[in-house]
Amino acid sequence: MLVVQYIALVGIISLMLYVLSEYGKKEFDWRDLLFWESLLVAMLIISLKPVEISLEIKRILGLGRGIDSLFVVAIGISYLMIFRVYLAVDKAEREITELTRKLAIELEEINEKLEEIKKKD
């Protein structure tokens, strides 16, 4: 094994432990844990046998060089992760909009009640 593989192994195992600790602190739900751990396990496997895996992916995808296949797969995974972040941000924006609407309605009701109280006095 090359030195860079040892560095990658240490880094990936550290990230796996970090994800587990965040799940233990309830920062992640089980879907996040499953997603990140599976991604890190895939990275761990690739870091152990990078040449063999890249050649197999190259054969499956029909690309010219093995390293090209790893870049294609990495770009694809990056797009999936960006899409997942987009969905989370969109959901958060919708929730904020809904909460803002509810708050505005409640504030208007409170203001109406205050005006009624002022008129009675």
Q: Of all residues in the chain, what percent carry a pLDDT higher than 70?
A: 99
Q: Model pTM greater than 0.95?
A: no
Cα of first residue to Cα of last residue in the chain, in angstroms, is: 85
121: three-class secondary structure by DSSP: coil
Express each pLDDT in 58-83 by its tens digit: 888 887 777 777 788 889 889 988 99
Tokens of 62: 């029909």
The secondary element (H helix, E strand) that includes residue 76 is helix 66-120
Confidence of residue 31 (pLDDT cuts 50, 70, 90): confident
**Alpha carbons 118 and 121: distance in angstroms, whole number:** 5
